């Protein structure tokens, strides 16, 4: 339903409706979340939130800007407190057109002179507009609207100004004849007697709106039984906010600390919720190209590798020093230098020795009885964000990671095409390529893809070095592969090669980033010596 039609229905439905004041986008969203079906955009509270008086000191364009943010932040209709219409009939015509363009459902105009003064400040001394001239403003508003359901409410100030009931009724009749959609009858008495008297004399000619700021103790059942259409709670969010802000400010000033207020105020997370941060994050996944810098990095560094003897007796393999710097520290330096900042390290053996600033840690307590895929599933984020996955015991040059990050693929792995020529030892990470192997930088019509994980097959084309990247879509595929391995009770002892093989079995295209050397898989003292040159 359009907001204008929703407001029209609120005014005309048989049961009593309630709307609450808001003065900016956040308060408007709070009103909607509280369950109200409409918002009163109060002139008093909007001007107060700007630090100015309710005397038309805020221009109509400033009011328009405020209410536009409120309309954008919510899905329920807004009835704007339009004061006097900000001038004569000509100002009203332009004002209504602009309100419609901003998504406002209706405007309430009061029969006073411009510039107005708040009704509760010497109300008896405030002059009222000539009823025929004000009727011209109402007619101009109705003639200017494009949407037939846009609501124009005529606010009668006669009772506030000390005029008799007959004057209030006469003015209301004039405004009805000019085309008003509803009448707001205002009173500053502490009981509802005046507005009830008006309603009984007025009958059902037009819906009657009230603002029970002064007669707030009146039960809603009484107001409903008298046939009122709409109740406006006109200023209570701003008033409650002032009370809370004053208390918080006094406490902080007195304590010179946040200790006694932090648990009493809304969390920053709540602010993000009201700002719609979640919607923006969802929109970014649909509209923005993925940036390598958005990726979460998961470094798998849980193993001890007893083959290193005393070197890993008191520390994991990733903390062995090469040239005075731990293996893991060297890799984290390269990762950061490529602009990646969301870093997760999966620790296991002697976890307390793995400590680097700016890193989140995940613990694999079963490091002795699990493999790299198991560590990876412990470090995976709940959200389907892009990933970079790395073994914690590899050393490589910076351009290797940069080339991987530049690859536009859902799943990509780095493969050394000359690994077998340089290493006599077998590897379980050998792979077979689909098509002729090409070195990085050679332009080809077709991307270089993995055909299968070859294990120790002598006919393999290269070796995966332990660097893998996924897009958001690739992360979803990766998680699905891990779930399948888990369902078959194979995940605990699977390494990355097994996981990549599962992706291939699920018809996932795995792109190859080819390199020739420029990396070391540190598995013995000879590898340590070679790594020291990087």
Rounded Cα distance between 505 and 491, Å, is: 15
Tell me: do 422 and 444 sit in the same domain.
Answer: yes
Residue 312 phi, psi (nearest 5) = -115, 20
- Which has the closest alpha carbon to 108: 214, 245, 15, 207? 207
85 CB-contact burial (10 Å; exposed 0-12 / middle 13-18 / buried 19+): buried
CATH code, 162: 3.20.20.60
Q: Which residues pair with 362 in a beta bridge?
A: 346
Q: Are residue 341 and residue 427 in the same domain, yes or no?
A: yes
Any bridge partners for residue 396, and if so which?
519
CATH number at residue 510: 3.90.550.10
* Distance in angstroms between the alpha carbons of the first and the last residue of the chain: 65
Q: Within 182-302, where are the H helices? A: 193-202, 220-225, 236-255, 268-275, 277-287
Query: How many structural domains is the chain composed of?
Result: 3
To the nearest whole percent, how much of the chain has pLDDT over 70?
95
How many CB atoms lie under 10 A from the CB of residue 34? 9
The whole-angstrom separation of Cα 255 and Cα 262 is 12
Judged by DSSP in three states, 510 sits in coil
Planar angle of CA 453, 307, 400, nearest 5 degrees:
45
**452 and 421 part of one domain:** yes
**Each residue's pLDDT tens digit, 52-98:** 998 889 999 999 999 999 999 999 999 999 999 999 999 999 999 99
In a shared domain, residues 498 and 353? yes
More confident residue, 366 or 531: 366
Residue 124 lies in a domain: yes
DSSP E strands in 23-136: the ranges are 39-41, 78-81, 106-110
pLDDT in tens, 255-279: 999 999 999 999 999 999 999 988 8
> Looking at the structure, do residues 251 and 298 belong to the same domain, yes or no?
no
Task: Give the per-residue pLDDT at 440.
Answer: 43
Query: Is 90 exceeded by the pLDDT of residue 339?
Result: yes
What phi, psi does 169 have (nearest 5°)? -70, -40
Q: Distance (Å, rounded) from C-alpha 484 to C-alpha 499? A: 10
Q: What share of the chain is helix, strand, coil (3-state, %, to 5)?
A: 40, 20, 40
- Segment (H or E) for 350: none
Window from 13-17, 167-171, 381-385, 425-429 with minimum mean pLDDT = 425-429
Rounded CA-CA distance 142/136 in Å is 10
With 0-12 / 13-18 / 19 or more C-beta atoms within 10 angstroms meaning exposed / middle / buried, residue 317 is buried
What three-state secondary structure class fits 278? helix
Token look-up 């391995």 returns 485
391 plus 435 within the same structural domain: yes
Residue 277 lies in a domain: yes
Map residue 470 onto helix, strand or coil: strand
pLDDT at 441 over 50: no
Question: Do 278 and 151 lie in a common domain?
Answer: no
In the listed set 200, 216, 235, which residue is the last one of a domain according to the structure? 235
CB atoms within 10 A of CB 261: 15
pLDDT in tens, 191-210: 999 999 999 999 999 999 99
**Res. 346 pLDDT band, cuts 50 70 90:** very high
Rounded Cα distance, 53 and 39, in Å: 21
Residue corresponding to tokens 């976890």 = 351
Burial of residue 303 (number of CB atoms within 10 Å: 0-12, 13-18, 19+): buried
- Please tell me the predicted confidence (pLDDT) of residue 418: 83
- Give tens-digit pLDDT for 146-160: 999 999 999 999 999
- Residues annotated as catalytic are 54
Region 38-45: mean pLDDT is 97
pLDDT for position 69: 97
Does 115 sit behind a cis peptide bond, omega within 30 degrees of 0 on the bond before it? yes
Residue 226's pLDDT is 97
**Burial annotation 478-512 (CB, 10 A radius, 16+ → b, else e):** beebbeebeeeeebeebbbbbbbbbbbeeebbbbb
My answer on whether 249 and 357 are in the same domain is: no
């Amino acid at each position: 339903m359009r907001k204008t039609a929703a407001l029209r229905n609120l005014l005309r439905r048989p049961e009593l409706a309630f709307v609450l004041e808001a003065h900016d986008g956040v308060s408007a969203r709070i009103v909607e979340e509280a369950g109200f079906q409409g918002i009163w955009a109060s002139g008093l509270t909007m001007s107060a939130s700007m630090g100015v008086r309710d005397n038309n000191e805020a221009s109509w364009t400033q009011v328009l800007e405020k209410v536009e943010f409120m309309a954008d932040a919510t899905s329920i209709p807004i009835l704007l407190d339009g004061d006097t219409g900000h001038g004569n009939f000509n100002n009203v015509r332009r004002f209504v057109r602009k309100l419609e363009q901003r998504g406002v459902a209706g405007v309430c105009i009061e029969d006073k002179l411009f510039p107005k003064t708040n009704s509760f400040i010497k109300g008896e001394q405030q002059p009222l507009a000539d009823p025929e001239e004000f009727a011209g403003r109402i007619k101009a508003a109705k003639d200017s609207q494009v949407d037939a359901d846009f609501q124009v409410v005529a606010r009668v100030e006669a009772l506030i100004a000390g005029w008799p009931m007959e004057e209030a009724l006469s003015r209301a009749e004039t405004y009805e004849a000019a085309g008003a959609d509803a009448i707001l009858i205002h009173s500053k008495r502490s009981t509802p007697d005046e507005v009830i008297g008006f309603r009984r004399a007025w009958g059902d000619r037009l819906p009657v709106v009230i603002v029970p700021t002064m007669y707030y103790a009146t039960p809603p059942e009484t107001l409903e039984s008298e046939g009122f259409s709409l109740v406006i709670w006109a200023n209570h969010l701003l008033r409650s906010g002032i009370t809370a802000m004053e208390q918080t400010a006094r406490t902080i000033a007195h304590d010179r600390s946040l200790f006694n207020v932090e648990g009493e105020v809304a969390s920053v997370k709540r602010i993000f919720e009201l700002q719609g941060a979640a919607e923006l994050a969802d929109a970014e996944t649909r509209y923005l190209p993925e940036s390598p810098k958005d990726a979460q990095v998961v470094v798998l560094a849980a193993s001890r590798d007893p083959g290193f003897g005393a070197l890993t007796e008191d520390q994991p393999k990733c903390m062995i020093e090469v040239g005075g710097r731990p293996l893991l520290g060297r890799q984290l330096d390269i990762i950061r230098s490529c602009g990646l900042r969301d870093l997760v390290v999966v620790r296991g053996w002697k976890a307390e020795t793995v400590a680097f600033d700016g890193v989140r840690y995940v613990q694999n307590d079963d490091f002795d009885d699990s493999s790299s895929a198991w560590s990876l599933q412990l470090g995976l984020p709940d959200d389907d964000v892009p990933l970079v996955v790395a073994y914690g015991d590899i050393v490589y040059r910076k351009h290797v990671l940069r080339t991987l990050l530049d690859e536009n693929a859902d799943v990509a792995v780095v493969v050394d095409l000359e690994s077998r020529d340089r290493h006599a030892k077998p590897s379980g990470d050998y792979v077979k390529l689909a098509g002729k192997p090409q070195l990085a930088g050679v332009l080809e019509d077709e991307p270089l893809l993995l055909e299968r994980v070859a294990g120790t097959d002598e006919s393999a084309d290269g070796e995966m070095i332990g660097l893998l990247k996924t897009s958001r879509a690739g992360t979803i595929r990766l998680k699905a592969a891990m779930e399948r391995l888990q369902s078959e009770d194979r995940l605990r002892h699977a390494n990355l090669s097994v996981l990549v093989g599962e992706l291939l079995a699920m018809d996932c295209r795995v792109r190859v980033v080819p390199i020739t050397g420029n990396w070391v898989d540190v598995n013995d003292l000879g590898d340590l010596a070679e790594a020291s040159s990087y």
